[in-house]
Amino acid sequence: MKPDFLHQCCIYGSDAEFLAMAVPFVRDGLHRGEPVLVTTTSANLELLHDVMGTEAGKIDYAESAYFGRRPPQRTTAIHRYWERNQPTTPTGAVRILAEPVWAGRSRREVASWKHMEAAFNVVLADTGIRMICPYDTRGVGEDIIENARRTHPECVVGHRAEPSAHFVAPEELARPRTSPRPLRGATGLFRFEGDLTATRRYVLETAAALLVSEDAVAMFGIAVGEAITYLVNQGIDRAVVWVRSAAGRVVCTLHSEQPLDTVHPFLGYRPPGLSERPGDGLWLTNQICEWLDVSSDASGCTIELAMPGRRAEEIRHGESSRLAFGA
């Protein structure tokens, strides 16, 4: 029988407390012949590597900052690691020690990472992953620590695990799904009335002036196209489409006066084809875009998605080039 997904947190405040949790977790997995992935800070990776000695080479390492830049990508990376490393024995598990990166996040990003921790309990429920998510009190705010206690069914101290008295059902922690105000006063609106080709042409032509490359325009078109297809599959055949530049990003808002019957709280997180259950129709959009918000109430439904705009991408590429050549 395949083991259930086990989602635990470890709240630590020193190197010694981190190792007191990580070493038993990793060592026990290795002794059982289980694949072990550790994705944390570079400092913690070095600490663990040094302590594990001759067993250090049996561990898979990844620095957290590069293991899924955004929550949807991180969720997919974890799911794919499990998919590639599933044990051949029915009772075998895959072990993952996964520390999120909180430093330098905007409020929207922090909310998204908190949301991801709740989503793990649903999206990864049919995997045999044993996961511990460490939280370092030396650099993480109390609100984030509080959220860790609410999103993890168990908390680990050293090698001991205890149920979290603060755990809340994942669906209850999902962000509120209420529609934003109608697009009154907006200019350059396009009305989708079932013609996907015309809508795609409008999106590509508008985005071409706002994005830095043809590839970015094509990816933006794919993301918007999938979002429209999702609406059509939900029985919505009319919507207003608005593409514009806002705060360094290219944003597309799709709004219909028809509400959605239901909005899954973790829409866009389930990868298609990687699970016994199908994807939800917005996974690719969630992978491509910097953010994806889906909301619905009695007044209608709205999907909003965004990618970095032309100037933001030019600055980022310029900084990368200067770093690469030591300028």
Residue 1: inside a domain: no
Same domain, 122 and 228: no
Residue 228: inside a domain: yes
- Whether residue 26 contacts residue 149, with contact meaning beta carbons closer than 8 Å, is answered with no
Residue 217: inside a domain: yes
Q: Is the pTM of this model over 0.95?
A: no
pLDDT at 239: 94
Range of the domain at 294: 190-314
Same domain, 88 and 212: no
Same domain, 41 and 169: yes
Give φ, ψ of 28 to 5 degrees.
-65, -40
Query: What 8-state DSSP symbol labels residue 65?
Result: G
Domain end call among 173, 206, 225: 173
User: What pLDDT, in 10s, does the model give residues 144-178?
Assistant: 999 999 999 999 998 899 999 999 999 888 765 55
Nearest alpha carbon to residue 205 among 193, 228, 188, 184: 188
Residue 179: inside a domain: no
pLDDT at 319: 42
pLDDT over 90 percentage in the chain: 71
User: What pLDDT, in 10s, does the model give residues 77-124?
Assistant: 999 999 999 877 666 799 999 999 898 888 989 999 999 999 999 999
Same domain, 74 and 169: yes
Beta bridge partners of 155: 9, 162
Same domain, 124 and 206: no
What is the CATH classification number for the domain harbouring 249? 3.30.565.10
Q: How many domains does the chain have?
A: 2
Same domain, 23 and 169: yes
User: What pLDDT, in 10s, does the model give residues 26-73?
Assistant: 999 999 999 999 999 999 999 999 999 999 999 999 999 999 989 999
pLDDT over 70 percentage in the chain: 88
pLDDT at 1: 53
Query: From the CB of residue 240, how many other CB atoms can be counted at a distance below 10 Å?
Result: 18
Residue 13: inside a domain: yes
